[in-house]
Amino acid sequence: MTSIFPRFLPLAALGLLLAPAAAHAQQYQPTATGLRVSTDSLMVEVQFYSPEIVRVLKQPKNVEAAKKSLVVTQAPAPGKLKYSQKNGQVTISSPTTQVVVNEKTGQVSFRTAKGQPLLSEQTLGSRFTPKKDLGAATYRVRQVFQLAPGEAVYGLGQHQDGHLNYRGQKVLMKQKSLDIALPVLHSGKGYGVLWDNYSTTNFSDAAAGTVFDSEIGDCVDYYLLNGQGTADGVVARYRQLTGQAPMFPRWTLGFWQSKERYKSQDETVGVVEKYRALGVPLDGIVQDWQYWGEDNDLWNDMAFNNPKFPNPQAMVDRVHALHAHQMISVWPSFGKKSKPYQELASKDMLFDFITWPRTPHVKVYDAFDPAARDIYWKYLNQGIFKFGMDAWWMDATEPDQLQPFDTDDDNETALGSFRRVRNAYPLVATSGVYEHQRQATADKRVFILTRSAFAGQQRYGTMVWSSDVDSRWDVLAKQIPAALNLSLTGFPYWNSDIGGFFPSGQYPKGVKDPAFQELYTRWQQFAALTPMMRSHGEYTPREIYQFGERGTWAFDSQAKFIDLRYRLQPYLYSLMWQVTSRAGTPMRALAMDFANDPKVSDMGTEYMFGPAFLVRPVTEAQYVNRPDRNVPVPPDFSKTKGVEVYLPAGASWFDFWTGKRQPGGQTVQRETPIDVMPLYVRAGSVLPLGPHQQYTGEKADAPLEIRVYPGANGEFTLYEDENDNYNYEKGAFATIKMRWDDKARQLTFDNRTGNFPGMQAARTFRVVLADEQHGTGIGADDAPAKEVKYAGQKTTVKL
């Protein structure tokens, strides 16, 4: 098997700490992309990938350890560089970034173009500890940085520990259910670090320094991402380096219904039919496992062997006829009687460790091998995709290794030991499906839901979910910082199981328990303001009609927020375009937009959703007091409860539901009846809202409501295209910039830019000025509005 990590030359008597106690100054060597510095024991190379992206590569002297990155897609493009040398230090500068290398020790530090410190290694911060891996010589690698006092750091993937700021914390970065190891550190100072290593890594921050300590590595390899002082700049540099996120289909923004599991095709289709009969919007239905049969020896056979799914083509066709779309669960593991297992086993492409379901016959395939990825897609295409399946639920892409059996890392992959590359498994697993579907058709955009991710995976059409979380209020609260830190690593798309996956331990009466209904209702409100709104869980059904009838509190609250989701579609789809075209971030920690407000630097209870919405989910029970979990009690709505909401400084804020305007920089008490989650809109926002509809595209020609929140100048760019193909990559899309001049009290629709087949040449906008007198919310159809007929040319309306 060929490795991306070529073996290196052995060194005699190599010390653990490769930094000399004393050495004479060395001459640096300029290179086409930066420079090299050789100390007595280290070779240090600095490579500029852009003026703001700098790679640092360190390895023991006389070691050949060239590495091809699985993560980085950009080639070095240094631009114009300047060199200087003084007092044993060499400085190499781009127009925006300075890198200083100590010629004696190999220590590297980074500064802005004006010489302001960004990040520095510790003097003796690079350590290589010799070890063996599958009999070959390698190292445990460690790099120590020194952060500034009070500097906040975020990112590192998704870790459900409740932390937003990781100063003073330790994090085990090892892929597993619930935790996503994504080695990107995001500093509140406006820079980031991508640690390009794929083995289990310990991150820690303490007074002694900030450490990345990886189990396997032939070199220290990391990238400094100079965001030039902004969080969005850091994310942009990360995506520039590792790949941009493609567009999802527009219908993915609708409501998704799922459970563990629908046991027949009639049940699956019946759920969609029931939603249509009730008039509750729905766009996605999910078919979870065992459609292949209930025998684990056929696990993930990628075929409808189950007799309760006798005609999968008819199932998919019926879902499509109901104007919905279908996702199906697939796994990286196979039972011994499945056809993929037999072919992969014959070619030695299966790992030998215990995974779920716990049976010796289920084995995970080597997704690091491109030939194995070809085989995986062959069966996926022949057995499922051919029916017109719309989306993939790639479960357990960590892949799942059951404790205490998760230490067998000696399995050999196509790229070396599993120990060496384990954290990158979800990256290569999703890449195989994305790339093969792109080759198969350009008419259906790839949409992959998966529970694990790695650096660069955003380029493979991936949405992650936070795994099989418990149905508890404290778990709901921890979803918020978990999602925000994943966003700060540069991964834009996240969601969670509405209501939590495991309710049985806390709510044995399930959906009939008012306490679970309250938790589910609040979780669903939160989900409406995340990148994907998806109901899922085991033990108890989650369909809206299981909670009661229209007119009951749980049903009506859920219907209200599903309706809100659909009204927000023009806003959400335009945000998706910002992700693809400008490296945007939908779920935003408040520090991204209000860096000058110290109160938000470690606030994990609220977030911005796009440029307009401040979201404060309700994460505590308020109306059901249940002293005994086995005895359901009715809710008590006799007194309206509330929560505290901090309104960030630097803006004024409108209550979305009432239109009341309040200044920022203060904490307010907001009442939270069961059908209200605190939502505030930043003054100056221009918010496009779509019609009430049952599915995406039902009323494509309906007027759009353009809601203006006065108090500051603002703008928003409305994006439109064909909704579900890749023609946008060829320029088939249109944008309309809307600009609000607060002093002149006028909204300008600029000339439309671009076009696409089927575009509305003329359309109607209903422009509404938000205020407390008329209220806002999702149903302001009766609010005073000015109707604007727009035909693509610049149009201005006075309010």
What amino acid positions are annotated as catalytic residues? 395, 398, 468
CB 27 within 8 A of CB 37: no
- The CA-based angle 671-676-679, given to 5 degrees, is 85
Burial class of residue 551 in the structure, from the number of CB atoms within 10 Å of its CB (0-12 exposed, 13-18 middle, 19+ buried): exposed
CB 164 within 8 A of CB 481: yes
Task: Assess contact for 399 and 368: CB atoms under 8 A.
Answer: no
Residue 298 to residue 365: CA distance in whole angstroms: 15
Residue 535 · residue 256 · CB < 8 Å: yes
Enumerate the β-bridge partners of residue 181: 157
Residue recorded with tokens 């090299």: 36
List the structure tokens of 682: 């930043």
**How many other CB atoms are there within 10 angstroms of residue 274's CB atom?**
15
**What amino acid occupies position 15?**
G
DSSP state for residue 246 in the 8-state scheme: P
Any idea what the Cα angle at residue 10 is, between residues 422 and 106, rounded to 5°? Answer: 80
Phi, psi at residue 352, to the nearest 5°?
A: -115, 70
One-letter amino acid for residue 327 of the chain = M
Cα 780 from Cα 453, distance rounded (Å): 40
- Euclidean distance between CA atoms 351 and 340, whole angstroms: 14
DSSP collapsed to 3 states, 122-166: EEEEEEEEEEEECCEEEEEEEEEEECCCCCCEEEEEECCCCCCCC
d(CA 640, CA 636): 9
